Amino acid sequence: MGGKKGGNECQSSLYQKTASWQYQQGINFVKQLALTDADRCLDFGCGTGDITAYMASLAGEVVGLDPDERRLQVARLCHPEVTFVQGRDADVPEGPFSVVFSNYVIQWVTDHDILLVLKRLYQVLKPGGRLALQTTERLPDTIVAATALLPPSDRDAIHADFYWRDADTLRTLGEAVGFETLSLSRKDGMHAYDTLENFFVWWEATTHGVFAVDHIGDEQLQRFAAEWVQADGSVQVVEPNFALVLSKPGGEKGA
């Protein structure tokens, strides 16, 4: 394995197949929101749309927004009944929404743009509407170690894409634009890939091919495997996750 696996279309399919842990975390978070057919929801950073489709089975209307048109092609193919829109932060559809949901996405928003994005999400929510954000505070140690195997240019490119914020910082930013905090929960998430190859496949797909095993020497791979592969052949990833639910003042607040 290595390289871009035949292009970005294939990267998008690989991401869908190997991000099951992220999907399950998202489903669990959606369940906590107790959506009903009275809700109009936005999935901000919907990716391949699996969680968006689950939300659509509960809510009256759901729109998925993502900048990656190739992942949206997968989403539209798998979930033709759901509305998906290609766009970036500035392209958030017009509201009002009762819920804006975002699962492991806010860490991609730059420090320059974060307040602008939160203000825009505030604008499209109706009074009493909720902004539900789930993410992690930093790259897990396993992923940091894998990324360190790359040549400096590739390694730096990956780290430059992330903008990590702890839970209290993100809550403070939300409150600065007018949100009220409904809930904040912290819980480390542990997920395991059954093989080293599948771990690399997931990280390669997540980074859109910047992480490429064929850029890493055999001796480096052997050292990584000796340190991080478990006795059963799996690779474990532990993330310092948190879930933050903010509310726009006014109206009836959700749970």
Query: What tokens were used for 118?
Result: 């939160």
Helix 167-176 crosses helix 114-124 at what angle (to 10 degrees)?
Answer: 60
Residues 6+ away with beta carbon under 8 Å from 181: 171, 174, 175, 244, 245, 246, 247
- Domains delineated in the chain: 8-139+163-191+238-247 (3.40.50.150)
Label residues 122-161 b or e (16+ Cβ within 10 Å = b): bebbeeebbbbbbbbbebbebbeebbebbeeebbeebeee
Which residue in this structure is represented by tokens 């903010």? 246
Can you give the pLDDT of all 255 residues of the chain as single tens digits?
223 333 444 444 444 444 577 888 999 999 999 999 999 999 999 999 999 999 999 999 999 999 999 889 999 999 999 999 999 877 899 889 999 999 999 999 999 999 999 999 999 999 999 999 999 999 999 999 999 999 999 999 999 999 999 999 999 999 999 999 999 999 888 888 999 999 999 899 888 889 999 999 999 999 999 999 999 999 999 999 999 999 999 876 444
